[in-house]
Amino acid sequence: MSVRRSYHHGDLRRALVLAARELLVERGPEGVSLRGAVAKVGASTAAPYRHFRDKDALLVAVALEGHAELHACLRGCGAGTVTALGHTYLGFALENPALYRLMAGAGICDRGAHPELGEAHRETCAVLADRVREQHDPGGFAVTLWCLLHGLATLVIDGHVARGSAIAETERSLAFLVDAAG
């Protein structure tokens, strides 16, 4: 006679998010699946549906976690200068390229079904605006700064700008932006 043991993971939601982050780094957004995350944590195939309705919901949870980490980096940036913020933003993106891409929506099929992701993007821009408020108009300048940083990060991640020259390109681009806004 076999004895069936009940399975209890503890914080399954958190474990699934961590497993999805591992899969994201290993395989990119397309390689993340609920089944793959479940296999990593050893839960039943039905278990994740108590926490995530589908793959998109899991990916959004990971992306939101990434936004929270980027916010913390930007808030913790020692100086509120545009250059320091640029280095911090670009550093986060280059240290976490798969997560950064996911935060921008890569691999999420129906972004419209997840307004919290759009809100996280707006909050990222707001953090940039808050950090440069004393130096520049936080309205248009913050969005322009965000566009520049996102574009540069994407160009480096995609290999169009050499990673070794990313710092110099960041400083040159930010100096040009600050001069233009001046």
Residue 138 tokens read as 């936080």
> From residue 32, how far is each of 38, 104, 154 by CA, in Å?
11, 16, 21
Quick: pLDDT tens for 70-104: 999 998 887 667 888 888 999 999 999 999 999 98
Topology agreement, domain 9-52 and domain 62-181: no
Class of domain 62-181: mainly alpha
Place of tokens 């990593």: 40
Higher pLDDT, 182 or 176: 176
pLDDT tier at 110, thresholds 50, 70, 90? confident
Picking from 25-29, 56-60, 86-90, 129-133, which range would have the lowest pLDDT averaged per residue?
Answer: 129-133
Q: What percent of the chain has pLDDT over 70?
A: 89
pLDDT tier at 16, thresholds 50, 70, 90? very high
Cα–Cα distance, 53 to 132 (Å, whole number):
39
- Where are the chain's structural domains? 9-52, 62-181
Higher pLDDT, 127 or 4: 127
Quick: pLDDT tens for 117-172: 999 988 888 888 887 775 665 567 777 888 889 999 999 999 999 988 888 888 88
pLDDT higher than 90, residue 60: yes
Burial class (CB in 10 A: 0-12, 13-18, 19+), 90: buried
In this prediction, residue 163 carries a pLDDT of 86
pLDDT tier at 4, thresholds 50, 70, 90? very low
Q: Residue range 49-74: average pLDDT?
A: 93
pLDDT higher than 90, residue 174: no
Cα–Cα distance, 73 to 103 (Å, whole number):
15
Instruction: Assign domain 9-52 to its CATH superfamily.
Output: Homeodomain-like (1.10.10.60)
In this prediction, residue 3 carries a pLDDT of 37
